[in-house]
Amino acid sequence: MSTPALGCRRLEDRDRNTFLALARQVADEGDSYPFDDETTEGEFLDYWFGKGEIRVAVDGDRVVGGYLIKPNQPWRGSHVANVGYVVDRAMRGRGIGRVLVRDSIARAREIGYRGIQFNLVVVSNVGAVRLYESEGFRIIGTVPGIFRVKDGRYTDAHVMHMDLTGPDEADSEQA
Ligand SMILES: CC(C)(COP(=O)(O)OP(=O)(O)OC[C@H]1O[C@@H](n2cnc3c(N)ncnc32)[C@H](O)[C@@H]1OP(=O)(O)O)[C@@H](O)C(=O)NCCC(=O)NCCS
């Protein structure tokens, strides 16, 4: 199902609680982000609001997803972005993730980042892997056992990357 009214914009104060609810949903699922039962509220808030910029996907007035874009590393690594996406569980599979990924690539270029790196794409997160590959990200490598699943098992995760130093293909497609 498509969501034609979907747009992206910067997170505003009034969106904060809705966005946080989506972020908590994803944290509770426990299969894509590193939060666990030991994560404190302060750490959680600092993760999302500590640095970088959040943009949200809105369907009409309703916030249905969002992403945090921030430097992947400080200082000599700060020219590469890291992005984390969340989509409302009830709204997944409708193209919102793809809209967010495209918006984040455009935003990363606008900010002047030279690339985007995802550090922890859990291999079982097939939807995310497919989405990222279909938008041009490459799997750089797969780190064995880097993610501890809720049930205590250790599983692998990909590092994925997109180079932004070349021409913007979205621009040349429009030309
Ligand atoms: C990953 C996530 C952001 C994707 O958002 P989404 O809105 O469900 O994705 P979309 O509907 O835009 O799907 C885009 C593509 O991803 C793939 N995809 C999405 N869900 C899939 C699934 N369950 N199985 C297989 N492929 C899937 C498909 O290739 C799809 O393209 P298509 O519809 O043209 O075939 C969303 O599922 C989410 O928030 N998950 C929890 C948090 C998370 O994992 N964040 C990423 C951490 S790395």
CATH code of the domain covering residue 110 = 3.40.630.30
Residue 118 Cα to ligand 1 middle (Å) = 15
The answer to whether residue 103 is domain-embedded is: yes
The count of domains in the chain is: 1
Q: Is the distance from the beta carbon of residue 125 to the nearest atom of ligand 1 less than 6 Å?
A: yes
From 18, 105, 102, select the one nearest 61 (Cα to Cα): 18
The pLDDT of residue 121 is 98
The pLDDT of residue 155 is 98
Q: Which residues contact 157 (CB under 8 A, 6 or more apart)?
A: 119, 120, 121, 122, 123, 142, 143, 146, 147
The answer to whether residue 105 is domain-embedded is: yes
Two structure tokens written together for 74: 């400080």
Contact predicate 157/143, CB 8 Å:
yes
Residue type, 116: I
The pLDDT of residue 2 is 54
Q: Chunked in runs of 10, what are the mean pLDDT values of the chain (175 residues)?
A: 78 97 97 97 98 97 97 98 98 97 98 98 98 98 97 96 90 62
The answer to whether residue 54 is domain-embedded is: yes
State which residues form the domain around 42.
Answer: 6-174
The answer to whether residue 12 is domain-embedded is: yes
The answer to whether residue 58 is domain-embedded is: yes
Residue 42 Cα to ligand 1 middle (Å) = 28
| Distance (Å, whole) CA 156 – CA 175 | 40
| Distance (Å, whole) CA 146 – CA 106 | 30
The pLDDT of residue 52 is 98
The answer to whether residue 1 is domain-embedded is: no
Strands (E) across the chain are located at: 6-10, 53-59, 62-71, 80-87, 115-122, 138-148, 154-163
The pLDDT of residue 3 is 53
CA-to-CA separations, 174 to 23, 114, 170, in angstroms, rounded: 34, 22, 6
Contact predicate 63/15, CB 8 Å:
yes
The answer to whether residue 155 is domain-embedded is: yes
The pLDDT of residue 171 is 73
Residue with the nearest Cα to atom 34 of ligand 1? 95
The answer to whether residue 56 is domain-embedded is: yes
The pLDDT of residue 167 is 86
Q: Is the distance from the beta carbon of residue 121 to the nearest atom of ligand 1 less than 6 Å?
A: yes
